[in-house]
Amino acid sequence: MSDAVEIRRFDKPDQVLDMKARGRISIIKMADGTTGMHAIFEPGWVWEVDEKPLLGNPSSCPMRHTGYCIAGKLIVRMVATDVKTNIVPGDFFEIPVGHDAYVDGDQRVELVLFAQADHAH
């Protein structure tokens, strides 16, 4: 383990999921494998239309998300139960695997998401 502070920036990501006019997810990986994501979803963004094809068309989102909502209103739906949850600015959240989501209203959604290194699970 290094004792140096590691700083990464979302304006120089390792990877970008580009959803064209609907938004993007900038992804950075720290040295230990921890992942940070900065997500921008524009009004009209729908997981099923805009992100699902980029992930290989799974029936629902295969990732667990821990994050913080900076702006906008995101509706997250658990696919198996059809239970919907609103995520709004100031919310720190944990979303289990098996969801989809969409932007509610005419304001862009901005989220910061974190994922532990794979070996931590």
Q: Which CATH superfamily is domain 15-120 in?
A: Jelly Rolls (2.60.120.10)
- Confidence (pLDDT) at 54: 87
Buried b / exposed e along 96-115 (16+ C-beta atoms within 10 A): eebbbbbbbeeebbbbebeb
- Confidence (pLDDT) at 121: 39
**What integer is the mean pLDDT of 59-66?**
93
Q: Which two tokens stand for residue 28?
A: 């950075």
Is the pLDDT at 60 greater than 80? The verdict is yes
Is the pLDDT at 26 greater than 50? The verdict is yes
The residues, ordered by sequence, that sit 6+ positions from 64 with a Cβ below 8 Å of its Cβ are: 94, 95, 96, 97, 115
- Confidence (pLDDT) at 116: 86
Residue type, 118: D
- Confidence (pLDDT) at 1: 60
pTM: 0.90
**What integer is the mean pLDDT of 61-84?**
96
Domain coordinates in residue numbering, the chain: 15-120
Residue type, 105: G
Summarised one tens digit per residue, pLDDT across range 74-120 is 999 999 999 999 999 999 999 999 999 999 999 999 999 999 887 54
**Phi, psi torsion values for 48, nearest 5 degrees:** -60, -35
